[in-house]
């Protein structure tokens, strides 16, 4: 089967089995890992295209996996965070560490497979909740308008609002009368801002999680 090879990282065996059962008909599963150490080794051993990453694990969780993988040589895989947590600081921290997207564990198998493919294509994946957090974090005037990274454009806000309202990318393209590729571009640009912006809300979240960003 062609398509991205996926590594599932989660410390709950039951959950890994569930995700595997749902994804197996749709994608190739490269392996599983149940801890930060195992994940770092499995990424080196299996060289997956996409890593489905649990945010909450002992010894640092998903953020630690991304950090340690980045220290090693070779091209790192794409990370897609998958978590039951909907706390803003968890979500923002893992995105700022380098994940290409964030989906909650209540997502359906088909939607998850779609998200994995999209991340593998280099696009960003935002769940409605993540879109809500980003809009919240970027609300109000930027602390210092020194960087365009610290504010969202009107179009980006519009796209994020539609994601938060539960629209798919294709539907957003249709409603805003732009191409799906343009929607992707806006979302990727928001992700970049999320990772690089110096807005103090984001920096504070990162600092609370012990991230050096």
Partner 1 sequence: MTTSDASARVLRRDRSGGWIGGVAAGIARRFGIDVSLVRLAFVVATAAGGAGLAAYALGWLLIPSGDSAPARARIRTGRAAVEVALGTGLLLLAVLLTFRALGIWFSDAIVWPLVLIASGGALIWRQSMAGTTPAAGAPPARARSSPPAAAARPATESRPAAAASGPEAEGLRVAVALDRKTAVAEGRRAAVAISRTGLGIALVIAAGFVFLQATGALGAARDVLLAVVAAVVVLGVIFAPWIVRLVRSLTQERAERIRSQERAEVAAHLHDSVLQTLAMVQRRSEDPAEVASLARRQERELRAWLADRPAPGQAARLAAALEAAAEQVEESHGVPVEVVVVGDRDLDPAHEALVASAREAMTNAAKFGGGSPVDVYAESDGSRTQVFVRDRGPGFDPASVPEDRRGVRESIVGRMRRHGGRARVTSAPGAGTEVELSLEERR
The residues of the shown chain that bind partner 1, judged by CB under 8 A, are 86-87, 106, 128-129, 131-132, 135-136, 139, 161, 164-167, 171
User: What is the nearest approach in angstroms of partner 1 to the Cβ of residue 24?
Assistant: 23
User: What is the nearest approach in angstroms of partner 1 to the Cβ of residue 95?
Assistant: 16
User: What is the nearest approach in angstroms of partner 1 to the Cβ of residue 161?
Assistant: 7
6 or 94: whose CB is closer to partner 1? Answer: 94
Alpha-carbon distances, residue 107 vs 26, 67, 79, 165 (angstroms):
15, 26, 17, 15
CA gap 86, 117 in Å, rounded: 23
47 or 135: whose CB is closer to partner 1? Answer: 135
102 or 167: whose CB is closer to partner 1? Answer: 167
**Phi, psi of 125, deg, nearest 5:** -120, 120
How many C-beta atoms surround the C-beta of residue 58 within 10 A? 9
CB of 23 within 8 A of CB of 48? no
57 or 131: whose CB is closer to partner 1? Answer: 131
User: What is the nearest approach in angstroms of partner 1 to the Cβ of residue 139?
Assistant: 6
Q: Sort strands 125-126 and 28-33 into parallel, antiparallel or unpaired.
A: unpaired
């Amino acid at each position: 089967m062609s398509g991205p090879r996926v590594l599932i990282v989660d410390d709950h065996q039951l959950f890994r089995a569930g995700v595997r059962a749902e994804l197996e008909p749709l994608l190739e599963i490269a392996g599983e890992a149940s801890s930060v150490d195992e994940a770092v080794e499995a990424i080196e051993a299996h060289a997956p295209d996409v890593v489905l990453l649990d945010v909450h694990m002992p010894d640092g969780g998903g953020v630690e996996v991304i950090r340690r993988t980045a220290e090693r040589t070779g091209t790192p895989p794409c990370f897609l965070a998958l978590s039951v947590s909907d706390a803003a600081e968890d979500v923002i921290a893992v995105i700022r560490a380098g994940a290409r997207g964030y989906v909650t564990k209540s997502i359906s198998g088909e939607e998850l497979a779609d998200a994995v493919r999209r991340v593998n294509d280099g696009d960003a994946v935002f769940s409605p909740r993540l879109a809500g957090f980003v809009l919240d974090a970027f609300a109000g005037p930027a602390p210092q308008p020194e960087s365009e990274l610290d504010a969202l454009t009107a179009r980006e806000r519009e796209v994020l609002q539609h994601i938060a309202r539960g629209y798919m990318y294709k539907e957003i393209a249709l409603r805003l009368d732009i191409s799906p590729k343009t929607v992707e571009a806006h979302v990727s640009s928001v992700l970049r801002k999320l990772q690089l912006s110096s807005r103090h809300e984001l920096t504070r979240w990162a600092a609370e999680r012990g991230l050096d960003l």
